[in-house]
Amino acid sequence: MKKIQVMLLFQSDTILVFSVMGILLVLLIPFPPIILDFLLCLNISISILLVLITLNIHEPLEFSTFPAVLLLTTLFRLALNVASTRLILLKGHAGSIIQSFGNFVVGGDVLVGLVIFLILIVIQFVVITKGANRISEVTARFTLDAMPGKQMSIDADLNSGAITEEMAQIRRKKVTQEAEFYGTMDGAGKFVRGDAIAGIIIIAINIFGGFVLGIKRGISPEEALKLYIILTVGDGLVSQIPALLIALATGILTTKTSSESHLAEEMKLQFFRHTKTLGMTSVILFAFGLMPGLPTLPFWGIAVCMGFLYYGLKKKEKIGKEIQKDGEEKAKKQEKEEAKEEDWLSLDRICIELGYKLIDLADQNRKPTLMERVVLLREQIARDLGMLIPPIHIVDNIQISPHNYAILLEGERIAQSTLYPEHYLVLEGAPQPGGKSALSGIIGIDTREPAFGLPAKWVDNEQKEQAEMIGLTVINEISVMITHLSEVLKKNAAKILSRDDVHFLIEQIKKNTPKMVEGIVPEIFSITELHQILQNLLSEKVSIRNLPRILQTLSFYASKTKDINNLTEMVRQNLAASICSRYQGSSGILPVITLSPDTEYKLRQAIFPDSSKTSVSLPPDFLQRIITGIVDIKEKAVSVDGDPVLLVNMDIRKGIRELIFHTLPDMAVLSFQEVLSCPEVKCIGIVQVKD
């Protein structure tokens, strides 16, 4: 058995080629009735298999080859029609299957057979095929319209740390596959529709041609008509029943939504989710049975079945609630018993407080759970910044607003915002023609995205679909919180990094490369000094992941200076490539803003750096004009690829960074020495402040 499976796996291309060639042979070469019976049986088997596959898959993309399979089965079925027509007209006999189907359906009455055959054609052509085609068209259009929004949503999740790069690539690939699949399904539906039309034409040709040939061969008109109608109806049924099954499979596949279970399981869950509807249906059917003239037994029989089903499900639901309640009470009791007095004084390093209407966000039944997203975020920040974010505790707090959540660092609230469960955040997009806001046509609650302050609206599911159709970015409530948490943690990374964290990082290096640390920590630099240098780097979002290189740089400059700020600048120069890459655009160009020589000279004269802080002596309006100049240049360069940085000399870089930090906290300040390794630097503006 295993050998056969391996052979089929490695020779699938050859089998497909021979299958297509075989279909062409059926079209061209006459086959004896016994082989035709076998091929007709194979056609029915394939159609049954396709229906069962579509019933058991979880999402349409699991059967992404269906459009190609649909084309091949349609061609195969038409080839069989040609082969059977050839036998019917030439020999007046087309095998046992066609003869049996014809006799069984016609049942002695030719007109009845024709009517039944035409009814099957109408069911397939008018009902199933037409509906499946319409669904395919609409789904294909909506899928293509929603592609930009889905891609932006994936990018937002990636930037927030909710997913990894590998997961983002998988999701992008899935979005592309969905668009291709529904596009091909839109066209593939025409095969089924054309097959139904061909069936009607073929039956007319068979009856007329057979009648003429029968008379030509000396058969009476009545016998010729009966013989060829029986054979034609049998041929039509043998081909149209598989066609009907494949049309059904097409309809199931196009109407199926993605889920974690197959169709039968989903239908069972959704049918019996509201048990009271079964009881109401039972009562209504019982009332129908009381109406004069209507048969009592069928209505009351089904009403009794519905009633028993309602009673059983209601009893099961009650037992389930009691078990859940007992479990919750036991869990609460256990938590109280396990609580220790020393825990009362403990302080979480990082904590998320949820208002009481947001408690369901922490439900472990949600997939993925909030805690799983937090773990992914911690992993993403560890890769980006090179530091381990401590465990983040999630608790409820009834003292804050019901829809609010707060982010606490060592008990101090550093950020908060508002969420609406079961709602989505739609971000402002490109203005519509006439300068109209893209959000103007969306009904929802006006707000601002908490991480970056962008205009946005909270919308329900109906408005979400409308927003996706016009290409706006739509984010669910947990992703909004995770993105906000990500930015807050990155901005406060220097505060989060503790001496214990630094000690842990050093110990990890000792395990891998013990010689790297030997003679540096604590011989030359204490943990405290190294902690301060790493905090300086993190305060400007410089990754400390390459800690071995940082230690090498410190050991080299240790004999020249002990000043923490100067050592930080030396480390930054050695990490210049990674610093620049953070702000480069996709083309590799680093956009920069510079200061005019006279402006930079005045700043140099006013800044007095020492080992711990930077003192300045500048008129307030002078500094404000510098900041205004930077903002004006950034606003005019909105189409620039990459994040513009302020480029100054190394000796005043830290001082200028501290000057503009409170007004422009996200503005990076780099030195000329740090951009030497950048392949291309583009100046987008010069700030010049005149007296």
pLDDT for residue 174 is more than 70: yes
By percentage, how much of the chain surpasses pLDDT 70? 85
Greatest alpha-carbon span in the chain:
119
pLDDT for residue 241 is more than 60: yes
| Average pLDDT value for residue range 377-405 | 91
Confidence of residue 260 (pLDDT cuts 50, 70, 90): low
Query: d(Cα 456, Cα 483) in Å, to the nearest integer?
Result: 14
Record the tokens describing residue 528, joined without a space. 């405290």
pLDDT for residue 469 is more than 70: yes
> Which pLDDT value is given to residue 43?
87
Which is more confident, 429 or 246? 246
Domain ranges of the chain: 1-29, 31-129+190-269, 276-322, 350-492, 497-574, 582-691
Q: What is the pLDDT of residues 138-158, one digit of tens each?
A: 776 776 777 777 777 777 777
Which is more confident, 81 or 684? 684
Tell me if 203 sits within 8 A of 239, measured CB to CB: no
Tell me which residue of 45, 192, 69 sits closest to 124, measured CA to CA: 192
SS3 680: strand
H helices within 339-476, ranges in order? Answer: 370-385, 461-469
> Which pLDDT value is given to residue 211?
72
Confidence of residue 484 (pLDDT cuts 50, 70, 90): very high
Record the tokens describing residue 21, joined without a space. 């060639």
pLDDT for residue 305 is more than 80: yes
Tell me if 394 sits within 8 A of 388, measured CB to CB: no
CA distances from 669 to 336, 385, 501, 627, 666 (A): 52, 18, 27, 13, 10
Query: d(Cα 436, Cα 434) in Å, to the nearest integer?
Result: 6
> Which pLDDT value is given to residue 247?
80
Record the tokens describing residue 263, joined without a space. 């169709």
Superfamily of domain 350-492: FHIPEP family, domain 1 (3.40.30.60)
Tell me which residue of 551, 559, 502 sits closest to 527, measured CA to CA: 502
Tell me if 237 sits within 8 A of 118, measured CB to CB: no
Tell me which residue of 17, 43, 521 sits closest to 238, measured CA to CA: 43
Q: Which residues of 183-209 are buried (b: 16+ CB within 10 A; e: fewer)?
A: bbbbebbebbbebbebbbebbeebbee
Confidence of residue 351 (pLDDT cuts 50, 70, 90): very high
Query: d(Cα 536, Cα 564) in Å, to the nearest integer?
Result: 9
Tell me if 275 sits within 8 A of 314, measured CB to CB: yes
Q: What is the pLDDT of residues 426-451, one digit of tens each?
A: 988 766 666 677 788 888 999 999 99
Bond from prior residue into 390 cis (ω within 30 degrees of 0): no
Confidence of residue 515 (pLDDT cuts 50, 70, 90): confident
> Which pLDDT value is given to residue 121?
74
By percentage, how much of the chain surpasses pLDDT 90? 20
Looking at the DSSP assignment, which residues form a beta bridge with residue 645? 592
| Average pLDDT value for residue range 175-199 | 74
> Which pLDDT value is given to residue 571?
93
> Which pLDDT value is given to residue 19?
80
Looking at the DSSP assignment, which residues form a beta bridge with residue 622? none
pLDDT for residue 526 is more than 80: yes
Cα within 13 Å of Cα(496), Cβ side: 29
> Which pLDDT value is given to residue 283?
84
Fold of 497-574: Helicase, Ruva Protein; domain 3 (1.10.8)
Least confident of 78-92, 298-312, 321-335, 500-514: 321-335
Query: d(Cα 232, Cα 202) in Å, to the nearest integer?
Result: 9
What is the residue-averaged pLDDT of the chain? 81
Confidence of residue 420 (pLDDT cuts 50, 70, 90): very high
pLDDT for residue 604 is more than 60: yes
| Average pLDDT value for residue range 639-652 | 84
Strongest mean pLDDT among 199-203, 416-420, 514-518 = 416-420
Long-range own/partner contacts, residues 659-662 (CB < 8 A, 24 or more apart): 659/603, 659/614, 659/616, 659/618, 659/623, 659/626, 660/626, 660/627, 660/630
Question: Following DSSP, what letter does each residue of 246-306 receive, concatenated?
Answer: HHHHHHHHHHPPP-SS-HHHHHHHHHSSSTHHHHHHHHHHHHHHHSTTS-HHHHHHHHHHH
Record the tokens describing residue 594, joined without a space. 């510079």
Which residue bears the tokens 């007209």? 89
Which residue bears the tokens 């990076």? 668
Confidence of residue 259 (pLDDT cuts 50, 70, 90): low
| Average pLDDT value for residue range 245-272 | 70
Which residue bears the tokens 């037994």? 297
Bond from prior residue into 514 cis (ω within 30 degrees of 0): no
**H or E element: which one contains 322?**
helix 296-338
Rounded to the nearest 10 degrees, the angle between the axes of helix 66-91 and helix 165-216 is: 10
> Which pLDDT value is given to residue 611?
42
Q: What is the pLDDT of residues 543-596, one digit of tens each?
A: 999 998 999 999 889 888 888 988 999 999 999 988 998 888 778 888 999 999
Which is more confident, 642 or 601? 601
Record the tokens describing residue 3, joined without a space. 């050998």
Confidence of residue 612 (pLDDT cuts 50, 70, 90): very low
CATH of the domain spanning 582-691, picked from 3.30.230.10, 3.40.50.12790, 3.20.20.150, 3.30.930.10: 3.40.50.12790
**Which residues have CB under 8 Å from 59's CB, separation 6+?**
256, 257, 258, 259
**Which residues have CB under 8 Å from 565's CB, separation 6+?**
536, 609, 611, 654
Confidence of residue 483 (pLDDT cuts 50, 70, 90): very high
Q: What distance, in Å, lies between the first and last C-alpha atoms of the chain? A: 90
pLDDT for residue 315 is more than 90: no
**H or E element: which one contains 164?**
none
The pair phi, psi for residue 394, each rounded to 5°, is: -115, 120
Record the tokens describing residue 140, joined without a space. 């294909």
pLDDT for residue 257 is more than 50: yes
pLDDT for residue 405 is more than 90: yes
Q: What is the pLDDT of residues 88-141, one digit of tens each?
A: 777 767 677 877 777 776 665 667 777 777 777 777 777 777 776 777 777 767
pLDDT for residue 389 is more than 80: yes
Query: d(Cα 493, Cα 47) in Å, to the nearest integer?
Result: 60
Which is more confident, 110 or 376? 376
